[in-house]
Copies of this chain bind each other. A is one copy, B any other.
Amino acid sequence: MRLTTKGRFAVTAMIDLGMRHQRGPVTLAGISDRQRISLSYLEQLFGRLRRQGIVDSVRGPGGGYTLARPMTEITVADIIRAVDEPIDATQCGGLGNCHDDRECMTHDLWMSLNARIYDYLDSVHLAELVQQQLDKPEQCAGKKHEHRRVVGSADLKVAANG
A interface, CB within 8 angstroms of B: 1-5, 8, 11-12, 15-16, 34-36, 76-77, 81, 86-89, 91-92, 94-96, 98, 100-122, 124, 129, 132-133, 136, 138-142, 144-161
Q: Which residues of B contact A2 (CB under 8 A)?
A: 3-4
When the two chains form their complex, are residues B1 and A151 in contact, meaning their CB atoms are under 8 A apart?
yes
For A148, the chain B residues whose CB sits under 8 A away are 94
Give, as a whole number of angstroms, the nearest-CB distance from A11 to chain B: 7
**Dominant SS among interface residues on chain A:** loop
For the complex of A and B, the 9 pairs showing the least CB-CB separation, nearest first, are A115-B151, A94-B147, A3-B3, A115-B156, A104-B140, A101-B140, A101-B141, A112-B158, A112-B151
Task: Contact check, A105 vs B153: say whether CB atoms are below 8 A apart.
Answer: no
What is the chain B residue whose CB lies nearest that of A120? Answer: B120
